[in-house]
Chains A and B, each alone.
Chain A
Amino acid sequence: MSRLPCKGLIYLLPILVFIFVFSAFRAFSQTSPVGIDTIQPQKIYIDSFFSGQKVTVRAMVPFGDKVVLRLLGPRENLALMKKGRVGGLWMNVEQVHFQSVPKVYLLWTSEKLSALGTRDSLKAMKLDYLSLLSGTLQNKKNRGEESLLVSELIKLKEADKVYHIFEGAVQIKPWERRVWDQADAVLELPSKIYPGIYTLELIAFKEGKGRLVHASTIEVKLAGFPALVSNLAARKGLLYGTLAVIIATFSGLMIGIVFSSRGGH
């Protein structure tokens, strides 16, 4: 009789192990929601009437984290003209080359950038423009002049609306009480967006320190008539130019004929 409970325990053991493994798995699986959950749409098609695109993003982060969503465009080498004074007049005086500059750099944050972390931590994550673009200038310059040229590049990109920081644009709400938070944002992509693969990064800040939590991609593609025109212009320039001239001449003459037949000259 006394051995019976022990025997019962032996039968109970697999059940206990199963319960333990299941609980452990559940506990483990609870860490997996961290990351970008939804990107809608993940493929953007630029058609004839494209004027920018709203992208809905949902992400999960550990409770209490501050959130940054960063969209980085394909990189390019830039040749720009620098203005300077010659005989009291402003004109282009020098060609300036930058290497591997992101075509697009957009940030959406849950707080003001300065409230996310220390200056060093922002620099470590290359969140501010200056750290992002440091080392991209190809012309050899002293530190002061390099800093001036990088700031001017930022101004140029901001004027094109392809560099921007949207502070406070990410909304955070509790998802599972004191464990996870849900971060939501609507990313408004500008009309001046280039085809290519864009990287969307989820960066979380805790106690002033940032870490990359997850990275995903958004693809921007030309479609329909813009794709046709762009391909023809890039690959068969002579044919494209000739067609452009023929169509322009024909259109101009047709409008001229229509006007003269109505005008009675």
Chain B
Amino acid sequence: MDLFVYLPVAANSMNILLLLGLGGLVGLLSGLFGVGGGFLLTPLLIMFGIPPTVAAASDSNQIVAASASGTYAHYRLGNVDFKMGAVLLVGGLLGGSLGVYLVKILRSMGNADFVIKITYVVMLGVIGGYMFVESLQSLKKTPAPCCEDSPGSSLKTPSLYARLITWLPFNIHFDKSGIRISFIVPLLLGCLIGILAAIMGVGGGFIMVPIMVYLLRMPMHVVVGTSLFQIFFTCINVTIMQAHINHTVDFVLALILLLGSSFGAQIGARISKRLKGDQIKILLAVIVLVVMIQMLLGLVMNPELLLSYKGGH
């Protein structure tokens, strides 16, 4: 039986079950780790014949559904810090706008693609590697290098970063996260994530999660829900902009993906509750490192085709 569906903006047909499966897989990761999954789904869609620009834009649309579903699930579990999410979101929007201009300057200089690819590999490598090592140490019950509030760590001299964030004014207590910190810190970090997300062309979830864990020192379960909350708004903005300016959102594609991803996100949220924070971190680290290696191979190995359509990641 042919279960093909025609995607009017992508101008191609795809198997419905394949799309549901891809959506389900990415939704699972989204609910489990608090990432949008764009860094994984967009290349997969391109691999199955969707034009890169349509893949990236429609992916944002489906992430709206997955993150809405995931945020709701985490909200029910009491895992969303709305105050922190809002500050990060404001920073992210500012940084995103700044990043778009930065990309424009880099493109005019002719080396945007080089910067984007290198940033991608370096960021994925550093974040994935650090998370992997740190989580492995925690799982082995050895003290983590920076962010455990163990009695031993309190005796150490605070790092420059720790001294800096305590010195900054406008301290706010974030109840859900259980931390007291200047709102300037999440604002600036949100801005940094926005810049990186704009340069790399992704929602930034996989950068956001480690930053929340290691720099804002939020508990892992709150991190996932709060990250999804922030991604929800970022992707609403991207979807509307892409539909309005580039006409590249394929709603039929997004609708099938989101059906899969919303279910996947629910399952992911339930699994995340049963896992320890370090287990979630190490799983995410492995995925980030696999994507990094795949990208690195793409940069080093001879490509099958020398020409490609414009757009995508």
The stretch that binds B, out of A10-18, A76-84, A179-187, is: A76-84
Most buried by A among B8, B239, B265, B305: B8
How far apart are the CA atoms of A237 and B111 in the complex, in Å? 31
Chain B contact patch, size range: 35 or more
Closest residue on chain B to residue A154 by CB atoms:
B307
A257 touches B72 (CB 8 A): yes
Q: Decide: A245 and B240 in contact? CB cutoff 8 A.
A: yes
Chain A residues numbered 189-205 whose CB sits less than 8 Å from any CB in chain B: 191-194
CB-CB contacts below 8 Å: B231-251 with A:
232, 236, 239-245, 247, 249-251
- Contact, CB under 8 Å: B243 / A82: no
CB within 8 Å of B: which A118-133 residues: none
Nearest chain A residue, comparing its CB with the CB of B309: A80
| Cβ contact within 8 Å between A233 and B113 | no
Cβ-defined contact, A249 with B303, below 8 A: no
A95 with B262: CB separation less than 8 A? no
Query: For B62, what are the chain A residues with a Cβ–Cβ distance below 8 Å?
Result: 248
B307, chain A: closest CB distance, angstroms: 4
Quick check: which of A28-36, A43-51, A106-114, A208-216 contacts chain B, the rest being far away?
Answer: A43-51
Q: Is B298 engaged at the interface, CB distance under 8 Å to the other chain?
A: yes
Given the known inter-chain contacts A229-B9, A253-B69, please indicate yes or no for A92 contacting B308, CB distance below 8 A: yes
Q: Judge whether A2 is part of the interface by a CB distance below 8 angstroms.
A: no
Indicate if the CB atoms of A229 and B8 lie closer than 8 Å. yes
CB of A249 within 8 A of CB of B64, answer yes
Verify if B227 is at the interface (C-beta below 8 Å from A): no
Given A252-B64, A260-B76, A263-B270; A226-B254 close (CB under 8 Å): no
Are A238 and B244 touching (Cβ within 8 A)?
yes
- With an 8 A cutoff between CB atoms, is B300 at the interface? yes
Cβ-based interface call for A176 (8 A): no
Residues in chain B near residue A144, CB distance under 8 A? none
Flag whether B68 is at the interface (Cβ < 8 A): yes
Known: A233-B9, A238-B240, A251-B258. A91 touches B64 (CB 8 A): no
Q: Would you call A256 an interface residue if the criterion is a C-beta within 8 Å of the partner chain's C-beta atoms?
A: yes
Closest residue to A155 on the B side, CB-wise?
B305
**Residues 41-61 (chain A) with a chain B CB within 8 angstroms:** 46-52
Which residues of B have CB within 8 Å of A252?
64-70, 72, 258, 262, 265
Closest residue on chain B to residue A226 by CB atoms:
B8
Inter-subunit contact B8/A89 (CB<8 Å): no
Tell me if B167 is interfacial: C-beta within 8 Å of chain A. no
Partner of B11, one of A82, A194, A227, A244: A194
A263 to B301, CA, bound (A): 47
B101 part of interface (Cβ distance < 8 Å)? no
Contact B305 A152 (CB under 8 A): yes
Q: How far is the CA of A192 from the CA of B263 in the complex (A)?
A: 29
By a CB distance below 8 angstroms, the chain A residues around B97 are none
Does B2 count as interface, using CB distance less than 8 angstroms? yes
CA distance A252 to B262 in the complex (A): 6
Docked complex Cα distance between A91 and B247 (Å): 26
CB neighbours of B236 from chain A (8 A): 245, 249
Inter-chain CA distance A249–B232, complex, in Å, is: 9
Is A242 close to B, CB under 8 A?
yes
Closest to A84 in B: B306
User: CB within 8 Å of B: which of A229-249?
Assistant: 229-230, 233-234, 237-238, 240-245, 247-249
Contact of B275 with A by CB under 8 A: no
Interface pair A159/B247, CB less than 8 Å apart? no
Say which residue of A48, A149, A192, A244 sits within 8 Å of B239 (CB atoms). A244
Q: How far is the CB of A198 from chain B (nearest CB, A)?
A: 14
B266: nearest residue on chain A (CB-CB)? A259
Q: Which residues of A contact B177 (CB under 8 A)?
A: none
Known interface pairs A49-B5, A89-B114, A256-B73; 6 further A-B residue pairs with C-beta atoms within 8 A, sorted by A's residue number: A81-B307, A92-B113, A229-B250, A241-B243, A251-B258, A253-B72
Tell me the A residues contacting B by CB distance below 8 Å.
46-52, 79-83, 86-93, 95-96, 148-149, 152-153, 155-156, 159-160, 191-194, 222, 225-227, 229-230, 233-234, 237-238, 240-245, 247-249, 251-253, 255-257, 259-260, 263, 265
Can you name 15 A-B residue pairings with CB atoms under 8 Å? A46-B6, A51-B2, A79-B310, A86-B111, A90-B301, A90-B303, A95-B310, A156-B307, A226-B6, A233-B8, A238-B240, A245-B64, A248-B62, A256-B68, A259-B263
Chain B residues in the interface with A (C-beta under 8 A): 2, 4-6, 8-9, 11-13, 49, 61-62, 64-70, 72-73, 76-77, 111, 113-114, 117, 232, 236, 239-245, 247, 249-252, 254-255, 258-259, 262-263, 265-266, 270, 298-310
